[in-house]
Structure 1
Amino acid sequence: MKKIFFFILCSFWGFSQTQMPNIELSSVDGESFNVSTDYNETDKLYVFSFWATWCAPCINELDAIHQKYDELKEELNMEVIAVSIDDTRTQKRVKPLLNGKKWSYDVLLDTNQDLKRALSIVNVPYTIVVKNEKIVYISNGYSQGAEEELYTKLKEL
């Protein structure tokens, strides 16, 4: 009986996580974006990369993606959205870091961690790929070269 309950619970959880939640986040410039409705162009790949200013692997991952971003953006019809989970204490570090990095991504602030909680994210870096309003790939953690695995997966999708 416990196995059946566990299977049903896991199946329900997996099913409930196939779409991005309907949550509004702000950009660093104060513009509001809905992660479900503003990023839903048909057949476009949206890479949501969850990061924080205090997370060195997160920044390394976003730097590595940025090196090939312009090329991949055109080739794969993709867009990267960097979602900062910095809280109100560390949020003030986001804009200065972005000024130094010159990333060409949309950067959204999940200051209250609503999106992080809705997606049951425990640790960053955490990457979600969305296509046609469905989550099609998830990656947790980063080590040097992992962006190549992401590129391969994006090409498959």
Structure 2
Amino acid sequence: MKRKGLMFGFALVLAGLALFQSFRIDRQLSVSAAGRPELKVESPVPAFTLKGLDGGEYKVGGVRDKPLMVNFWASWCGPCREEAPALKQVYDRYKGQFDLYAVNVTRGDELEAVRRFVKQAEFSFPVLLDTSGEAAEAYRLLFVPTSFLIDRQGRLKEVIHVLPPDELEDKIKKLIAI
């Protein structure tokens, strides 16, 4: 009987710690981190400039000619591999109407693996290299793949993860129409 009471007490303490930790994480996500404003829908996205695999420099943030999808990914990520054909398909279909930047989280990846992934996936859109992790940090990236849909005014419209091709296409059509 005493042992059951101890086990119950231990389980209660663990549950309390889990609840406390969950509250702390939720609170941390809503408070600005390192002076960066919280990412909110309809708010301007953090600006960054990264080099692409093609050697060019690409800028995110501020007013642009076309809406933008920023997709954070890694070559070792299974869901990123699953998502790649849908990204290629939607870009090939709407490439004149929106931009797509595939931001490789290079800090946790190998450049040769990145090149192989891009070649195999036949990406025709810019692949950017976040070698320092600053862009991922500014966007508070928790896992890959994560995509940010950004309107022409540089405002966040939506955050999405792997979607079936038809749902991804619907999101892109809505982004273009804004």
What does residue 136 of structure 1 align with? 157
SS at structure 2 position matched to 1:33: strand
- Counterpart-to-counterpart distance in 2, 1:89 and 1:71: 29
How far the C-alpha of 1:60 sits from its partner, in A, is 1.9
- The 8 Å contact of residues 51 and 59 in structure 1, kept in 2 or not, is answered as no
Question: Percent identity at matched positions?
Answer: 26
CA RMSD of aligned residues (A): 2.6
TM-score, normalised via structure 2 length: 0.68
What does residue 100 of structure 2 align with? 80
SS at structure 2 position matched to 1:49: strand
Unaligned residue ranges in structure 1 (runs of 5+):
1-5
Unaligned residue ranges in structure 2 (runs of 5+):
1-26
What does residue 3 of structure 1 align with? none
- Counterpart-to-counterpart distance in 2, 1:35 and 1:70: 21
TM-score, normalised via structure 1 length: 0.76
Matching residue's letter, 2:64: N
Q: What is the 5 A alignment of 1:1-157?
A: 9=30, 13-15=38-40, 18-36=43-61, 40-41=64-65, 44-74=66-96, 77-87=97-107, 90-132=110-152, 133-140=154-161, 142=162, 145=164, 147-157=165-175
Instruction: Compare CA radii of gyration and give the structure with the larger one.
Output: 2
Deviates more, 1:19-28 or 1:91-100: 91-100
Matching residue's letter, 2:166: E
